Amino acid sequence: MPVLLAPWALIALAALAVPVLIHWVRRSERQEVMFAALRWLGRANRPRQQRYLHDLPLLLLRLLLLATLALLLAAPARESHGEPGSASVLVSPAIDAAAARAAVAAPTADWRWLAPGFPPLDAPRPLPSPPASLIREADAQLPRGTRLTVVIPQTIDAPDAGALRLAHAVTWTPLPGPSPAAEPARPPPPLQLAIHGAAGHADSLRVVRALAAAWRASGREVRLDETPAGPPASDTALQIRLDGSEPDAATLRWVEQGGRLLVTAAGRTSGVVVLADESGRPLLYEAAVGRGHRFSMPAALTPAAVPALADPSFPRRLLAALLPAPASAATAEARQLQPQTIEPAPPGPYRPLAPALALAAALLFLLERLWASRRRSAAA
């Protein structure tokens, strides 16, 4: 049934007053009479203000035209209902097409790939994409009453955080298929650390070596370069300045292009706190410099200055703060993602009625022009 998607636009109906005012004229001003014996016509009163609506058919035409235009502005639309008995089957690209056809008994349905653009199943298999948003998109586009079947592998790659709440009742068909996690995960690259100012800060250097050992124990390969010369190399993951000195211009350029710099015993700290001890005292600050990061630690990296060093979880937390790992691909079991149907069904996809109304408005305008010009020639 038709609805108005922008009902506040009906305030344009106030324009209907304009033709009424135009047609609401005094009869006297309309009728011009040629009268040669004007000099004997007395200098009389003004005529009685008889007002009336002249040319009623034209007025009605104009009112109708304006009402149609106002209705067009209010964007009328109709819920599109599919034919009864229509069905749609969406197959995840991770599933083989033939296996999907065999599993679902719906030969007359509309078979499509669960991929952007929803290509038909006859098209070559597209690349896999996260299914959740695609399922929501299909649910929004399909007319009410269509039976929807979704064929997905049993382990879904990259579900998003929200549960699937759909307007259609979906037949959820997990099929065994190649799980996306079959790819072997590449091991993380070795950490290359460059240490400046090691001379004269032997106890800080010992702490750094201890941290590196702790990181190696957790499975990360770490290499230390204790006497770097010149600007940091491109594969250096982190430069640590133990003496609190500011870096030179070449190092700053390296930081701006995506490098990470840690300055301990820093005289100047800026940025947000990314690490604090148990009592809440800030230990590590992070500031963005170009595309890289500058970490500053106000205290020197020694057990006396930073008592939290003794905490067994400190190396892991420090590594997480300094070098956050990329988010690992989450997977979920398909049956966990069984979508729920929203009751009552939300208003379905709308088919706009604007083209039909625009055609009607154009016809009315043509009629109104014809009528107005015809009356004028008849009166002339």
Partner 1 sequence: MTVLIPPDVRARLKSLRLSTRLTPAGQGLGQHPSRSRGAGLEFAQYRAYEPGDEPRQIDWKLYARSDRYYVRDATRDAPLALWVLLDASGSMLQADRARPAWRRFDAAKLLAACLAELAVQQGDAFGLVVLGGAAPRGGLDGLPLGAGPRHRDRLRIALDRLACGGALPDEPSLRPSLARIEPASLVVVLSDFFDDTPVTLAERLAAARREVLTIQLIAADERDFPFGGGHRFVDPEGGPERLVDAEAVREEFLRRFAEARAGLARRLAGAGIRHVEYVFDAPPDLPLRTLFDPRGAAG
Q: Which residues bind partner 1 (CB under 8 A)?
A: 26-29, 31-48, 50
Cα-based distances in Å from 79 to 82, 145, 166, 352 = 10, 11, 17, 9
Q: How near is the Cβ of 10 to partner 1 at its closest, in Å?
A: 38
Place of tokens 């199943």: 121
Q: How near is the Cβ of 74 to partner 1 at its closest, in Å?
A: 42
Q: How near is the Cβ of 54 to partner 1 at its closest, in Å?
A: 13
Cα-based distances in Å from 338 to 136, 245, 366 = 13, 57, 56
Contact 118, 93 (CB under 8 A): no
| Closer of 42 and 184 to partner 1 (Cβ) | 42
DSSP state of 267: S
In angstroms, the CA 127 to CA 152 distance is 14
| Closer of 42 and 312 to partner 1 (Cβ) | 42
Whether the ω angle into residue 47 lies within 30 degrees of 0, i.e. cis, is no
| Closer of 42 and 200 to partner 1 (Cβ) | 42
Q: What burial class does residue 128 get, using C-beta atoms within 10 Å of its C-beta: 0-12 exposed, 13-18 middle, 19+ buried?
A: middle
Q: How near is the Cβ of 45 to partner 1 at its closest, in Å?
A: 6
Report which secondary-structure segment, H or E, holds 62: helix 56-73
Q: Is 321 helix (H, G, I), strand (E, B) or coil?
A: helix
Q: How near is the Cβ of 75 to partner 1 at its closest, in Å?
A: 46
| Closer of 33 and 105 to partner 1 (Cβ) | 33
What ranges in 193-266 are assigned the alpha helix state H?
A: 202-217, 249-256
| Closer of 52 and 169 to partner 1 (Cβ) | 52
Q: Is 376 helix (H, G, I), strand (E, B) or coil?
A: helix
| Closer of 7 and 47 to partner 1 (Cβ) | 47
Q: How near is the Cβ of 29 to partner 1 at its closest, in Å?
A: 7
| Closer of 27 and 165 to partner 1 (Cβ) | 27
Count the Cβ atoms, other than its own, within 10 Å of residue 85: 10
Q: How near is the Cβ of 379 to partner 1 at its closest, in Å?
A: 13
